[in-house]
Amino acid sequence: QVQLVQSGTEVKKPGSSVKVSCKASGGTFSNYSINWVRQAPGQGLEWMGEIIPMFGTPNYAQKFQGRVTIIADEFTSIAYMELSSLRSEDTAVYYCARGGRNGAYFDYWGQGTLVTVSS
């Protein structure tokens, strides 16, 4: 069974950066996209970007271009999402999610990582 396990809660200052990890187990890591989706408190889901580990080239939502970096390590089966220049509006739960076999729907999700940005 595929599992995605994310790193723990983060509290950050405005202007700083956060790096969240997502460790995959139980499946083939390299062939499927790993996506990052965030959810602000009481709000909906927002896709941030993806990477297919075997190719290594990320695809970012335009909104986050220049502020987000997504990488994947095939040897450890860990994907990372780093978000810089944090502001209070970035307070959210950040999820990693695996892309499906037949398209970019998300069939497995991590448990979520709460990132709070506060001075």
Partner 1 sequence: DIQMTQSPSTLSASVGDRVTITCRASQTISSWLAWYQQKPGKAPNLLIYKASNLESGVPSRFSGSGSGTEFTLTISSLQPDDFATYYCQQYNSYTYTFGQGTKLEIK
Q: How far is the CB of 8 from partner 1 (least distance, A)?
A: 15
**What number of CA atoms fall less than 13 Å from residue 7's CA on the CB side?**
13
Residue 100 token pair: 């499906």
**In angstroms, rounded to a whole number, what is the distance separating the alpha carbons of residues 25 and 9?**
21
**In angstroms, rounded to a whole number, what is the distance separating the alpha carbons of residues 85 and 64?**
11
Choosing from 29, 32, 80, 95, the residue that interacts with partner 1 (CB under 8 A) is 95
Q: How far is the CB of 37 from partner 1 (least distance, A)?
A: 8
Does the protein bind partner 1 through residue 109 (CB under 8 A)? Answer: yes
Q: What is the CA angle 17-19-25, rounded to 5?
A: 170
Number of residues that bind partner 1 (CB under 8 A): 22
Cβ atoms of 86 and 12 closer than 8 Å = yes
Choosing from 17, 54, 66, 107, the residue that interacts with partner 1 (CB under 8 A) is 107
Residues 21-60 that bind partner 1 (CB under 8 A): 35, 44-47, 50, 59
Residues within the interface to partner 1 (CB under 8 A)? 35, 44-47, 50, 59, 61-62, 95, 97, 100, 102-107, 109-112
